[in-house]
């Protein structure tokens, strides 16, 4: 091989020999290995050692410390609005290893009218991530919310099947192969990264573990899960496909329902690669997270914490969650649902790691120290 490594501090070659592809070992180290579907070019590493935000990176960053435990990436939600805030973007660049489009890749944004696709916002997010070497978790292919009314109005299964397949083929297909490696989906949302991109589908369950009522479940029953995941697999075979949901914060009935669904869908061959737990927690609500992760991991799927925020952002709540992921081998990534309280969807709960002035809060320091 013309190069055997890459990453922080690497000064050697950046092109893999024929027959080998670049494989991420961790944020500090890449290696050209035989086979695989990765790039033939060693990327610059996804974690900068440069201090460009308001937080010093001398003691490590959220991402660098997380991946030092063998994890894949510590990410944040973002979109054009927050990327255009200089302090926010600087923190994304320096502290985080990936991004999830907060709204720009949802159905209402990407296909507001049947067959009329709009990728302005999602392209902006993807292009920013690619140029800044961030992993991307796609979000979201099929979801009952932020769904245009023309989809909700469909009554027959053949039309809805075709509409789902067309939507996924266009959205997932648009970003196929643009990224270095592969990531995942939410069967109601998705996910990508250096490894490609991972659609995710999310929020299909009621709190008792039964299937949520939506146009998808009403017209197609549980089969919409298979239809959507098969379409996603076809659109981007290298992307890891995630199913994503909320209130999976203890080993509750919903967790058990999701485990049953994943096992059922995967019994005919693995379609669902990962499970995303959104992790929108209340203050003091982290105590059940370890049990939930353990139960979800028993499916054999990757687990990702996809939208973490905790009311009040108590340091102990945050470290309980982060330690639970560190302690669960299948838990590969954590994404906080934004960087600063200034831009949080639940801003009045001040749930994030940075305050409204983009300064790190005590929870930030506690998380860093816990890693």
Minimum distance of ligand G3I from residue 77's CB (angstroms):
7
Identify the H or E element spanning 350.
none
What are the φ and ψ backbone dihedral angles of 311, each rounded to 5 degrees? -50, 130
Please, which residue, 307 or 317, has the CB nearer to ligand G3I? Answer: 307
The whole-angstrom separation of Cα 171 and Cα 124 is 14
Minimum distance of ligand G3I from residue 247's CB (angstroms):
11
Minimum distance of ligand G3I from residue 345's CB (angstroms):
3
Catalytic residue status for 203: no
Residue 75: closest CA among 143, 122, 28, 133: 133
Q: Shortest Cβ contact with ligand G3I: which residue?
A: 345
Please, which residue, 7 or 285, has the CB nearer to ligand G3I? Answer: 285
Please, which residue, 181 or 258, has the CB nearer to ligand G3I? Answer: 258
Q: Which residues would be at the binding site for ligand G3I (CB under 6 A)?
A: 102-103, 145-146, 246, 278, 307, 345
Q: Which DSSP string corresponds to 284-334?
A: TTTTTHHHHHHHHHTTT-EEEEEEEEEGGG-HHHHHHHHHHHHT-TTEEEE
Fill in the DSSP letter of residue 105: T
Please, which residue, 28 or 190, has the CB nearer to ligand G3I? Answer: 190
Q: What is the 3-state secondary structure (H, E, C) of 288-299?
A: CHHHHHHHHHCC
Burial class (CB in 10 A: 0-12, 13-18, 19+), 12: exposed
- Name the active-site residue from 111, 203, 302, 307: 307
End-to-end CA distance of the chain: 34
Minimum distance of ligand G3I from residue 246's CB (angstroms):
6
Please, which residue, 105 or 371, has the CB nearer to ligand G3I? Answer: 105
Minimum distance of ligand G3I from residue 237's CB (angstroms):
25
Give catalytic residues, as residue numbers: 307
């Amino acid at each position: 091989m013309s190069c055997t490594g890459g990453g922080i501090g690497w000064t050697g070659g950046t092109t893999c020999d024929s027959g080998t592809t670049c494989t991420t070992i961790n944020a500090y180290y890449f290696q050209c290995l035989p086979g695989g579907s990765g790039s033939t070019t060693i990327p610059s590493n996804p974690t900068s050692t440069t201090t460009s935000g308001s937080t010093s990176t001398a003691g490590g960053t959220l991402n660098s410390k997380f991946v030092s435990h063998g994890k894949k990436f510590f990410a944040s939600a973002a979109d054009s609005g927050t990327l255009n805030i200089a302090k926010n973007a600087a923190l994304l660049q320096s502290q985080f290893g990936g991004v999830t489009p907060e709204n720009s890749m949802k159905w209402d944004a990407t296909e507001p009218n049947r067959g009329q696709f709009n990728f302005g916002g999602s392209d902006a997010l993807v292009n920013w991530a690619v140029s800044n070497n961030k992993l991307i978790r796609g979000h979201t292919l099929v979801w009952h919310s932020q769904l245009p009314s023309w989809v909700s109005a469909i009554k027959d299964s053949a039309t809805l099947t075709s509409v789902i397949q067309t939507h996924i083929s266009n959205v997932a297909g648009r970003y196929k192969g643009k990224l270095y490696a592969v990531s995942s989906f939410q069967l109601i949302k998705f996910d990508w990264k250096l490894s490609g991109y991972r659609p995710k589908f999310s929020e299909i369950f009621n709190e008792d573990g039964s299937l949520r009522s939506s146009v998808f479940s009403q017209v197609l029953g549980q089969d919409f899960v298979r239809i959507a995941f098969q379409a996603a697999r076809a659109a981007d075979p290298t992307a890891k496909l995630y199913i994503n949901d909320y209130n999976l914060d203890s080993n509750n009935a919903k967790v058990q329902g999701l485990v049953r669904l994943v096992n059922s869908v995967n019994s005919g061959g693995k379609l669902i690669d990962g499970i995303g737990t959104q992790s929108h927690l209340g203050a003091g609500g982290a105590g059940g997270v370890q049990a939930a992760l353990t139960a979800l991991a028993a499916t054999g799927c990757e687990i990702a914490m996809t939208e973490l925020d905790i009311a009040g952002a108590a340091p102990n709540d945050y470290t309980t969650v982060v330690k639970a992921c560190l302690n669960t081998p299948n838990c590969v990534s954590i994404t906080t649902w934004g960087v600063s309280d200034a831009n949080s969807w639940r801003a009045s709960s001040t749930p994030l790691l940075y305050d409204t002035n983009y300064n790190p809060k005590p929870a930030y320091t506690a998380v860093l120290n816990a890693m």
